[in-house]
Structure 1
Amino acid sequence: MHVILHPGFHKTGTSSLQRGLAAHDAVMSPRLRYVLMTEMPDVIRAARKYSRKPKPLNLTAFGQAFDTFIQGLNADETRPLLITSEDLSGLIPGKYGVETYAASSPLMARAVDGLLTRFGPKTKIDVWYTTRAPEAWQRSVYYQLLRGVRLTDDFTSFQNIWANAARLDDVVAQTAQLVEGKAHVDAGRLESCSGTALGPLGMFLDRYGISTEGLPPLPIENVQPHGVAEELLKINRSNMSDEVATEAKRRILNRHRSAGATTQPAGGSK
């Protein structure tokens, strides 16, 4: 049995990969089993909690939730199994006091142990991260936080404050150390699939030798329109109530979405 854990990171093409799987389910199903975030809510909830409060008790709770979840998976399947959610690494840095992805490595180590116990020591396990160049990742996270919370830092200040959070390669290396001899750890850089027809989904399928035949190109979504970050920052710094500010941001984003500014054609660059 071959299991691939894909714990993100956030803003590294994870949503594009997952949307691609869902959009092409009829074609992909004979080639790959996959599990998305919505199919393992207790696991995701526990991972998020551990990232906020990295206590042994919360790691144990994650392990119990993960073990319960994988009990429902068929051990006799011959198709590779992909378990994908960026929140398997916990919450995105910048939310609820989470400063880095330090939670990711122990979470993945516990998940690997659970898989080996459930499916046996001969199970082939890969932990595959998607990563991104530090500044590009920070800009994407900054934009997301501007949309979702009352962030008032300019980008330069944000970049300095969250410099350690962008060290994604260090987390990959730490995970490799923790699961050495039990699982193989690898990473794919988002920039390496920029401009390709299938984007991160194609990068994943190529990495694991899964056919891309019959899969049409995928558009790039969640593109950051020019100048919107500045508009959102101005709202966040205003004296508007949170409710009014949220509505103002929603109108701005809807305007750009309606104009097609948040989506690029397949093969475009992000």
Structure 2
Amino acid sequence: MRVLLHPGFHKTATTTAQAFLHENRALIWPHAALVLPARIRSVSEAVFAGGDVAGAMARFLRGLALSPRRTLILSAENLLGPMPRGGTDSPYPAALPVLRALISALGSLGWPVDLTLYFSTRAQAGWEESLWAHHARKDRSPPFTDSLAQFRARIGRLPLAEQLARIREGLPGQRIISHDIADLAQAPFGPAQPFVDFLGRTAPFRPVAPRNAALPRPVTERLLELNRRETGAALLAAKRAVRQAAEGRTA
């Protein structure tokens, strides 16, 4: 069974790629089973909790209609853990044990598995700013208040490229591919191109517009000001108004 597992990284156009897969699912289904984040949440929850990831993945796989001849595509960036916030020495400190657990679960299917791990990446500076903007936008307690410079100092202790290098070194012999999303910008299907290439099929796939892009830096700075100044319901309402104005929406 051929498997393409796309477990990360966050803020590397994963939402856009997953929107493409979802929009084209009827064309993909005859050639591959498709698993996107909402469907595999039980495994992501085990990753977040530091639980039995291999067991959760094995149970999940048993619930799918798979066979030795079936191709499987899984894309879910939370399988590597929470979106990095700079509070640990590496962006994904549990990456290797989690990936080994996922690979072990695939090996328990009872037939040969031809696994390809795919990691979408991007330039470090853009990745850091996109993470920063996402955390500033989110409503959580306590609110995120780091300046971009403060966040860069923490999140950059282990660059994303080095995180990927550690994964490669820790999984010798495993087929691992990666693509910088900037290099995919001119591809026919943008950040979804690696999935189309994996399928190796010619089909009338429909491209999708970019999804979940970071808000402009001045808007993020405004959200940070609110995070530092407001609390409770007033903070939530003020941030919602700023986001809606920036996105051209109304309440």
Q: Do Structure 1 and Structure 2 share a fold, with TM-score over 0.5?
A: yes
Alignment of 1:56-95 (within 5 A): 58=51, 61-76=52-67, 78-94=69-85
In 1: Cα distance, 2:85 partner to 2:190 partner: 26
Alignment of 1:126-205 (within 5 A): 126-148=116-138, 149=140, 150-164=143-157, 167-181=159-173, 183-205=174-196
1:37–1:119 CA distance, 2 compared to 1 (3 A):
farther
Q: Which runs of 4+ in 1 moved over 6 A?
A: none
Deviation readout 1:77-134 (Å, 9 max, x if unpaired):
5342111100000001118x556212122101111111112243x3101111111111
Alignment of 1:10-159 (within 5 A): 10-50=10-50, 58=51, 61-76=52-67, 78-94=69-85, 97=87, 100-120=91-111, 122-148=112-138, 149=140, 150-159=143-152
- SS of the equivalent of 2:238 reads helix
- SS of the equivalent of 1:186 reads strand
2:20 and 2:206 in contact (8 A); partners too: no
CA RMSD of aligned residues (A): 2.1
Deviation readout 1:173-212 (Å, 9 max, x if unpaired):
333333323x311211111112444221123322x25335
Q: How many residues align?
A: 245
Q: Which moved more, 1:77-86 or 1:172-181?
A: 172-181
In 2: Cα distance, 1:5 partner to 1:209 partner: 13
Q: Which residue of 2 aligns with 1:243?
A: 233
- SS of the equivalent of 2:93 reads coil
In 2: Cα distance, 1:147 partner to 1:81 partner: 34
| Larger RCO (CA under 8 A, 6+ residues apart) | 2
Q: Which amino acid aligns with 2:19?
A: R
Alignment of 1:227-242 (within 5 A): 227-238=218-229, 240-242=230-232
Pick from 228, 247, 250: which aligns with 1:257?
Answer: 247
- SS of the equivalent of 1:83 reads strand
Percent of matched pairs sharing the same residue: 25
Q: Which amino acid aligns with 2:149?
A: T
1:212–1:14 CA distance, 2 compared to 1 (3 A):
farther
In the alignment, structure 1 segments of 5+ residues that lack a partner are 51-57, 261-270
Report the TM-score when normalising by structure 1.
0.83
User: Shift in Å at residue 26 of structure 1?
Assistant: 1.6
In 2: Cα distance, 1:44 partner to 1:203 partner: 23
